[in-house]
Structure 1
Amino acid sequence: MFASAAIALVAVLWWATAGALDRQTDAAIRADALALAERWREAGATGLAEAIEERLAVDVENESIYLLMEAEGTRRLAGNLDRWPGTTPAEGNWFRTRVLHDGIAAEARLYRVELPGLRLLVGRDESEREQLRRLLTEGVLWASGAVVLFALLGAWLLRHALQARMSLVFATTAAIAGGDLGARVALSGRGDEFDRLAQTLNAMLDRIGTLMEGVRGVSDAIAHDLRTPIARARAKLEDALSDAPDEAALRAAVEQGIADLDGISRIFQALLRIAEAEAGARRAAFAPFDLVPVLADAAEIYEVAAEAREQTLATDLPERLELVGDRDLLLQAVANLLDNAIKFTPAGGVVRLGARRVPEGVEISVADDGPGLSPDDRSHAGERFFRADKARATPGSGLGLSLVQAVAHLHAGDLRLEDAKPDEPDGRVGLRAVILLPAP
C-alpha cells in the first residue's frame, strides 16, 4: 500500500511536469498560428511571410519552426524548413515528426494551417523538452524502484518488530498448551497495545485458572459429599438384607435407602440448575412479570415451616414490581434464601422477606436472626458445597447460595451478604442476603 501510494504520487508529479510542458507548448503553437492567420487576413501572403521572418529574427533559442508554401507548388515563401515534411498525416492538424531546420535535425511538434492558396506549418523544436521528459521518466522509474525497495524493507522491519513483541505471547501460549497453566505473558512496561493485549490475556488465564480450580474443587466436593450418603445407604441396605428381623424392618430400611438416594438426586438437580444458570441456557425463558406475587407465593410456602419452628415470617412488599427474567428461577432463588434463614433462625426469631425499587434496579432481601457469617465465610459463601463451621451440624449440601448467586448473575445482577443487625449485643448479628437485579 505504501509503494502504491508513493508510485501514484510520483506519477502525478510526472504528469504535472512533463504534461504541463506539453500543454504549454501546444498552447503557444496554437496562439502563434492564430496570430499568423490573422496577419494573413490583414496583409495577405506578403504580410504573413514578413511576420514569419520577424519571428525567426527574434527567436534567440532557435526553437520556433515555420514553413509557408504555395498550396499547389513546392515554392517556399518563408520559414526555416527546407521542404514540407513527408510524414504529414492526411487528417488532423497536430502531429509530431523529425525535421531538419537551419541544418539541425530535431523532433518537432507541428500544427498545420490551411489557407486559401497557401500551406502553413507552425511548430516548436522539442529536443530539449524530449530530453527533459526522458530525464523525468528515468527519475520516476528510479524513484519507483527505491519506493518498492523501501516498502519491502519497511515491511520486513515491521514484521520483525511485531514478531519480537509477540514472541512472549507465543511462548506463553506454547507453555500453556504444554500443560504449564501458571505461565503468564510478561509486560514490557510501555503501556502500549501489546501490553494491553498481554494484560487481557493474563486476566483471561487467571479466570481460566480460577475456573479450573473451581472444577477441581467441585469434583472433590462431589466425591466427598456423595460418598457419605451413598455409603450410608449401601450399609443400611446390607444390614437390612442380612439382619432384618421381619418384612417391616426390611421395608423401613429400603425406604430409608430411597430417601438417601433422593437426597443424592436433589444434589445433582441443584448442580444442573446451577450449570444451566451459569451457562445462560435459561435466558430464552426471560419474560416480563410482576415480582410481588412470586415473593408472596414463596412466603406462603415457607410460612408453615417457620411456624413449625416457632418463628415469624414477616414480609414487606410493594404493590407491584415489574421485572424481566425467569420467574421459576427467581422463585427457586428466594426459596433457597428463605430455607437458609429459617434453618439458622432460633425459635422465637423473625425471618424478614422484603423487596423494593432502588436506583440500581430491584432489591430482594431476606434477613434472619441467626448467628450470621464471618467476612471470610462470606467470601466463600457462593462456592459450591461450601459450608461454614456453624452450619456443619445442620442438614444441607452447600449448594443453596451457589444457585442464588448463579441466578443473580444470569439476570445481570449480584448477590450481597451483610449483617442484618450489626449492633446486636448478644452476638446474633443475623444475616441479610440481598439479590440486586437491574431495572427492566
Structure 2
Amino acid sequence: MPGTLEALLRFLRSAGFRFAVRFALIFIGATAVFALVFWYATAGSLDRQTDAALRTDALSLVERWREAGSAAVAEAIGERLASDVEGNSIYLLINPEGRRLAGNLDRWPQGVPAGTDWAFDTVQRDGLTTEARLNVMELGNGYRLAVGRDVTEKQRLRDLLAEGIAWSAFAALIFAVTGAAVLRRALEQRLLPAAQTAEAIASGDLSHRVPLSPRNDEFDRLGQSMNAMLDRIDRLMEGIRGVSDSIAHDLRTPIARARAKLEEAVVGPDDPETLRAAMERGITDLDNITRVFEALLRIAEAEAGSRRAAFAPIDLAPVLADVAEFYGVVAESRGQSLETDLPAALETVGDRDLLAQAAGNLIDNALKFAPEGGRVRLTARALPRERIEIAVEDSGPGLAPEDRARAGTRFFRADSSRATPGSGLGLSLVQAVARLHGGDLVLEDAPEELGGTPGLRATIRIGPA
C-alpha cells in the first residue's frame, strides 16, 4: 500500500500529468464556451424573438387603449385571436373588478404578482394547461392587460437542446480525459530515450546517445543538445585521461633526472662545487616542472571561465606593443627580426594578463621554430561586430595538416619539435584563452612574403559572436 501511494504521488507530480491536466482543462473550457455560444444563438435567440414580438404587440394595444379605451382594446384582441392560425397567442384584458373583458384566458395568472412586467407561468387557456411567456401592462384606472405566447413547443426544444448539450459535455469530458492520457503517454514516449540515456550516463557508460527522429522537433533539438553536451563531456574525459598520461610521461623524465643528479651528488666526491652544480640542475628541473603545473592551472582556469570575472574594457594595442617589445630583444639575440603591424587603438573587453600571455606564447613559439635570420610578424586588426583578430606569422617549417588538428591538445608536440625546449602547453593555453573570450585558435600556412617553407600563421579571433 505505501508503494502504491508513492507511485500515485509520483504520477500526480509528474510533468506529463500536469500537461495532461492543462490540455483537459483547455479542451473542457473550449467546449463550455462553444456550448454557451450555441445556447445563446438558439434557445436565447428564440426567447429574444418571443419577447420582442410580445413587446411590440403589447405596445400596440396600449396605443389603442390611449386612443379609444377598453372597448377598442377588446376589439383588437378579438381580431388577433381570430387571425391566430397556430393558436399560440394569449391575451387577457380585465377591469378594475377583475372581470375579463377580452382574451382567451379563464382568469388572471396567479403566478404573476403585481408590479411584474415579464413572467413565465402555467396558465389555463381554453380549458388546457400550457406554459406561457407573459408581458403584463398596467393600462390605468385599474385595467390590466396580459399579452403572451404559448411556449410549450419552444420549451420542449429548449429541453432537447439542454439534453444535447449535456450529452455533448459528457462526450467532451471523455474526449478530454482520453486526449490527456494520450498526450501524457506521447510525452513520456518522447522523453523516454533522453531519460534512458541520462540513466546510462549516470551509471558510467558515456557511449550512450539520445536517438533522434527525422521530425527534428523540439524533443529532437533537446536530444541534439544533450548529445553535443555528452560529446563535449566525452572529449573532456578523454582529455583528462590524456593529460594524466602526458603528465606521467613528460614529467617522469625531469623528475628522474633531478633525482639522479642529486643522488649522484650524494654518493659522489665531497666536492662543494659538484654539490652546488647538482643542486642547481635539480632546482632548474623542478622549476620546469612547476612551470608545467602553472600552465596547466592557467589552462584549467580559462576553460572553466573562472577568469571571466576579471574582464574589463582594455585597449589591446599598447598591450601587444609591450609584448612585442619584450620578445623583440629575444629575437634580436637570436639574429631574427620581429615585425609588428598594430593599429593606434584596439578596444575590447577581456582579461588583460591572459591576452598578453596568449600573444606572448604565439610569438615565443614562432621564434623557437623560425630559423636564424628568420622573420616573425605580429599583426592585429578590428573586425566587424566588435571582434578582434590577432595573428602571428613566422618563416619556420610550419605544421603538417594532421598536426594542426592536434596542436591545441595538451602536451602535444610534433615530431619535428621534439628536440626543441617546451612542454607542449603553449598553444593549449592560447586556445583556452581564445575560447574564454568567445573565439578560437586557427592555424594555417603563413604568407609567402615571409619566405617560410611554408611557415605558420597562428590567428586568434576574440569578441562577441
Q: 1:67 to 1:273 in 2, by over 3 A?
A: same
**Partner amino acid, structure 2, of 1:240:** A
Match for residue 411 of structure 1? Answer: 437
Q: 1:244 to 1:408 in 2, by over 3 A?
A: farther
Determine if the alignment matches structure 1 residue 77 to structure 2 residue 71: no
Structure 2: gaps (5+ residues): 1-25
Q: 1:170 to 1:317 in 2, by over 3 A?
A: closer
Equivalents in 2 of 1:41, 1:356: separation in Å? Answer: 99
Match for residue 256 of structure 1? Answer: 281
Indicate conservation of the 8 Å contact 2:446/2:454, yes or no. yes
Indicate conservation of the 8 Å contact 1:383/1:402, yes or no. yes
Indicate conservation of the 8 Å contact 1:89/1:95, yes or no. no
Equivalents in 2 of 1:212, 1:88: separation in Å? Answer: 89
Indicate conservation of the 8 Å contact 1:362/1:439, yes or no. no
Q: 1:126 to 1:150 in 2, by over 3 A?
A: same
Determine if the alignment matches structure 1 residue 47 to structure 2 residue 72: yes
**Partner amino acid, structure 1, of 2:314:** F
User: Secondary structure of the equivalent of 1:315?
Assistant: strand
Using the TM superposition, give the Cα deviation of residue 336 of structure 1 relative to its aligned residue in structure 2, in angstroms: 0.9
The 5 Å alignment of 1:190-339 reads 190-339=215-364
Q: 1:59 to 1:436 in 2, by over 3 A?
A: same
Q: 1:367 to 1:130 in 2, by over 3 A?
A: same
Q: Could you tell which deviates more after superposition, 340-349 or 182-191?
A: 182-191
* Alignment match of 1:143 (pick from 160, 168, 181): 168
Indicate conservation of the 8 Å contact 1:295/1:334, yes or no. yes
Q: TM-score, normalised by structure 1?
A: 0.92
Equivalents in 2 of 1:225, 1:260: separation in Å? Answer: 12
- What fraction of aligned residue pairs are identical, expressed as a percent? 63
* Alignment match of 1:386 (pick from 412, 435, 438): 412
Q: 1:21 to 1:358 in 2, by over 3 A?
A: closer
- Per-residue CA shift, 1:193-243, capped at 9, x if unaligned? 444333333233222212221121112112222222223223322332333
User: Secondary structure of the equivalent of 2:348?
Assistant: strand
Equivalents in 2 of 1:439, 1:154: separation in Å? Answer: 46
Q: 1:244 to 1:320 in 2, by over 3 A?
A: farther
Match for residue 36 of structure 2? Answer: 11
**Partner amino acid, structure 2, of 1:39:** R
Using the TM superposition, give the Cα deviation of residue 412 of structure 1 relative to its aligned residue in structure 2, in angstroms: 1.8
Q: 1:318 to 1:164 in 2, by over 3 A?
A: closer
Match for residue 152 of structure 1? Answer: 177
Determine if the alignment matches structure 1 residue 397 to structure 2 residue 402: no
Match for residue 114 of structure 2? Answer: 90
Match for residue 110 of structure 1? Answer: 134
Q: 1:284 to 1:57 in 2, by over 3 A?
A: same
Q: 1:188 to 1:363 in 2, by over 3 A?
A: closer
- Per-residue CA shift, 1:295-351, capped at 9, x if unaligned? 221122122222322222233333333333222112111111121122222222222
Equivalents in 2 of 1:212, 1:241: separation in Å? Answer: 42
Match for residue 370 of structure 1? Answer: 396
Equivalents in 2 of 1:401, 1:132: separation in Å? Answer: 86
Q: TM-score, normalised by structure 2?
A: 0.87
**Partner amino acid, structure 1, of 2:303:** E
Indicate conservation of the 8 Å contact 2:349/2:463, yes or no. no
Match for residue 183 of structure 1? Answer: 208
Using the TM superposition, give the Cα deviation of residue 139 of structure 1 relative to its aligned residue in structure 2, in angstroms: 0.9
Q: 1:366 to 1:163 in 2, by over 3 A?
A: same
Q: 1:322 to 1:83 in 2, by over 3 A?
A: closer
Indicate conservation of the 8 Å contact 1:7/1:147, yes or no. no
Indicate conservation of the 8 Å contact 2:438/2:464, yes or no. no
Using the TM superposition, give the Cα deviation of residue 422 of structure 1 relative to its aligned residue in structure 2, in angstroms: 5.5
Q: 1:300 to 1:18 in 2, by over 3 A?
A: same
- Per-residue CA shift, 1:261-297, capped at 9, x if unaligned? 2211111111111122222222233333332322221
Indicate conservation of the 8 Å contact 1:69/1:120, yes or no. yes
User: Secondary structure of the equivalent of 1:282?
Assistant: helix
Indicate conservation of the 8 Å contact 1:11/1:140, yes or no. no
User: Secondary structure of the equivalent of 1:398?
Assistant: coil
Equivalents in 1 of 2:51, 2:382: separation in Å? Answer: 84
Equivalents in 2 of 1:118, 1:313: separation in Å? Answer: 119
Q: 1:378 to 1:83 in 2, by over 3 A?
A: same
Aligned residues: 438
Q: 1:429 to 1:244 in 2, by over 3 A?
A: farther
Equivalents in 2 of 1:92, 1:262: separation in Å? Answer: 107
Indicate conservation of the 8 Å contact 2:375/2:450, yes or no. no
**Partner amino acid, structure 2, of 1:349:** G
Equivalents in 1 of 2:41, 2:200: separation in Å? Answer: 58
Q: 1:319 to 1:39 in 2, by over 3 A?
A: closer
**Partner amino acid, structure 2, of 1:279:** A
Equivalents in 2 of 1:187, 1:22: separation in Å? Answer: 58
* Alignment match of 1:354 (pick from 368, 379, 391): 379
Using the TM superposition, give the Cα deviation of residue 421 of structure 1 relative to its aligned residue in structure 2, in angstroms: 5.3
User: Secondary structure of the equivalent of 2:419?
Assistant: coil
